[in-house]
Structure 1
């Protein structure tokens, strides 16, 4: 008679990391896409309705009040205020959406819903998780920006195919801002006043004083250098020059280079900080 079996039941082993950084990023993007398909209605206000209200209030309403003065055409280079404003609002809405999507949702992934930790417990690295979320934010901005372009065109704010390049410029601008804000959010343990201060002292002033609603040369000379460091000013200049066909090649290269540097710096910080926070 034989004794009890001494066979050892094998313990399930982790299947390893997803091969290739791009594959892991794609899995994270797929996760957010699956969530978005079921919950897109919750984002309509921030991604579509809010920019539309800005367009109606400033482009249509305020624009109708100031267009008859003659001074507006001098400031805008001879085009209507709505046409001049529309590409800037496209960049502004991308930056605002990027700032929001890169604060509380990121902290939620670390602290409240802990989605990032669930991903890191599987075959994904912190680098793939951070870059995947950043890629998803960029895709969201492209989609919401495309809808916004259709709305702008319906109100007569589009004068040519250059608006497509404006959408690209707005997306690059928003992604650069998102990368930097995500890196900051990855260091936050308790939201407290940190996110409130970010929106109050960075995002809102950047929105108001980056040439969105009026040229920055109307600002006091001492304040203008602050606008020059704003990513939104660079994105606005790119989007507006594309939409109005006022290309200045050297200036465009400078704007793109500045935004790409911010994007690369932010992406590097995101990979390091996500990896550090998600590593036991």
Structure 2
């Protein structure tokens, strides 16, 4: 049975670890050729080797790029098109959550600027060059391939409801990603280019765990999680796969929440049983 991304190609930023790596593995397993982009080339190369081992029928390649630099994002998109002949899926996933990010009184301007450069400007560049590439996609009706494509931007639940622990620059950057994604979705809808944001809840990844570096901070987050646990990167990757595939063909401009119910909850009851992750994720 053909995979949901059969014959398609994808570019994933921040692909060396976490959500990006899990998405690359999943996209390839569903038939996509994948360019794994990361500022850490060694991590991207390790990830690409893992993808190739698990999905030998597809192409997987690594590329180094700092998404805050326009020329490097353009070069990554150009490389994907050169390798695969087209770009069908762009997952603008790379982002930072700086440990010095705090409230309005304590966050330094350099932290604000760095966060915006990666989390917001990097997504802008990724959208810009993906749109240009998708407009030029060759049509192959026999394989169900046409111009257009799917662009997925990683936002966050904090873009919708704010964070319990101060991280002003990160929260502001993710809110801007939502707004930018909605506008671009409207502008390019008639071109067959879909743009959606994915909004993860708190995840058990190094990015968040390094930020929630005390038990107090971790418990402050968990009190708002109906499921009583942090999410796993693979659970976000499965949401990204849905947005990348034709299963979501009538969706654009959405903020797709994969957050364990967090944005639907005020405060969770305490002292009740906490269910573990599904066995397939352990």
User: What's the TM-score once normalised by structure 1's chain length?
Assistant: 0.30
The structure that is strand-richer by fraction is 2
Which protein, 1 or 2, shows the higher relative CO under an 8 Å CA cutoff with sep ≥ 6? Answer: 1
Task: Give the structure with the higher percent helix.
Answer: 1
The structure that has the greater radius of gyration is 1
